[in-house]
Structure 1
Amino acid sequence: MRVLMTTDTVGGVWTFTQELAAGLLESGCTVSLVSFGRLPSPVQQDDCQRLAGMHRERFFYRPSEIGLEWMEDNQTVYEEGASLLTREAVRFSPDVIHSNQFCYGALQLAIPCVVSAHSDVFSWFRACRGASPPPSHWLATYRETVQAGLLQCSAVIAPTRWMMRELAQAFELPQRCDVISNGRTVEAGSGSPRKMCAVTVGRLWDEAKGIDTLHTLRSPIPILVAGSTTHPDARRPPSIASATYLGELGGDQILHLFQSSSIYLCLSRYEPFGLAPLEAALCGCAVVARDLPSLREVWGDSALYFEDTRSLQEILSALAAAPELLAAARESAHRRALAFDRAQMTRHYLDLFESTVAPSERAEHAA
């Protein structure tokens, strides 16, 4: 199967699409990946070169600087992106398009298009600010392009039931809506001694990531923070107070950080799934997470949940004082994380892709 996939270079969608692309390639598919948002970083370029080196003639990457539908300057995003994707579709001849932006569900091509819903502006505002976003020309454009993509796509996928319900509050959804959990496959590490420290990873400028929780936290253990401080629209990130800022790390550096740490802090106020805590748990960290319905759906009883700074401090103090409690939390998180692997995610997406292709096209593909 030939899959034309979109991604963005700004957030966690990049990690998701790298993982799914790897799974599809391992399954024998051919993948063309087109990125939006901004030009890829050197680390992201390396990610794609690694896939191209492992799967010669079956992986192609086309970067672009075309914006994303949620960015402030979104008036021509769809038209520019649709033009690029149409040209790529002519060149690549995909069996299916997998868009990780809503708007490209409206592509006027005779090719099935599956849209993955990773987040949306309306649920972000409800979670972070407790209200709907204020009316504006930008918001009207966003709503219009997102709604068009959702109604014209072949299917919409969300990583959690929570995300699908949130999306349905703001938009009319297509007839086919499925939930497919994100997946990740990483090594747990060498088993070398871990530092008694907590780590968190995220865009420091994004209030959804809850980094400001660290302002008044009196942690009994060191806290390390990694992530971008550069907002696409040049907003300033918050201070991280007494935590240690490590900068923006590459994928391998982040995994090494997880493999040498004991606890992952999921501080997010808005987290439709959460790839970073999944990666950390696979690397052997305990997961301490804000008590959100989406995170409860993913982690069940395998994470420790906090509601405010005080309860977070109490959990960290308990883990620091009781090695057996920390060991049990690490084991529970790791066992749960193993259920969300690349293989299960790829299998479900492949089944979905196959079901959207017309029977005659499936027969031609099989031949």
Structure 2
Amino acid sequence: MIIVGVVALVAWLWLAATRFWRTDQRLPPRRTPATWPSVAVVVPARDEAGILPETLPALLAQRYPGPLRLILVDDGSGDGTADVARALGGGRLTVTAPGDRPPGWTGKLWALAHGVEQAGEPDFLLFTDADIAHGPDSVTALVEAAGERDLVSQMARLRTRTGWERLVVPAFVYFFAMLYPFRRVNGPGRTAAAAGGCCLVRRAALERAGGVAAIRDAVIDDVALGRLLKRAGSRIWLGLACDVRSVRPYPSLRSLWDMVARSAYTQLRHSPALLAGTVLGLALVFLAPPVLTLAGAGPARLPALAAWLLMTLTYVPMLRYYRQPWPAALLLPVTATLYLLMTVDSAVRHRRGHGAAWKGRSYG
């Protein structure tokens, strides 16, 4: 038990030193361009008729000084998404459909590729999900922050209204930042990622990298987009949003469970070895410290308590970002246990042939 406690403490000392837990990566310093570039906003939407009235009006009301075009791609919806979009757009929105999805493409990326084709030749493309609500100056802020960068991506502030959302959602972003530390993404190294809900991409850079077709089979499309551009030599940036938020509700544990489980095993490249390592790592880093602190004996408690304290302190900034009380950080081991079980369930689903499932589609 002493060895386990010491290993957990060393792991947390190293994790804390990486500063992945910092929440200070917000939009870079903004600079007004001499000439405002043209921007085409591409919104892929599948069965989003109920959510578009909460998000689409904000895009239509953007106060952007330059040329701005809005395109919604109806990705095979069966709930009248296109009709709702046209009614809300009032002629200011292009509503289109990509047709049948070719083999080897995921639905969202096929919709994005069609939207890019419809956009023509704008200077920038803004890929944003149908559940994302933008502030009135969101496009302006993204363009001003872009500078010489080819990708500026903001992780939208997710909804935290229900008890389950408050327990699970901040940890989701915390774990994402642990996998893809924002500072490293924004630096010159190989670490790359993006947040699919809000990605401003320089069109020319995307074309040089091979376009959307280069990642057509990606299930975790935002990370794939960040990698594609960075490997092609582009400067990219990823951070937390202040004026961009998701309105999609996750009212139950089941809905949150499905959100994580549908792609967790894909993140592990469908590798049983990586799955075993992840389960062991989560157990050692997140579960062992509180278990040894509360149930251990003698000298094992001291390093375990120190590890739990470090874990708690690194989680507090994310809770503050989500306006949650800091004592909730003590529950991070509980949330980590849920994520461990979600990851295992993701592998079980894949084993049963369900793959990554979203709105009636499943990818092996």
Higher relative contact order structure (alpha carbons within 8 Å, sequence separation ≥ 6): 2
The TM-score normalised by the length of structure 1 is 0.31
Higher helix share: 2
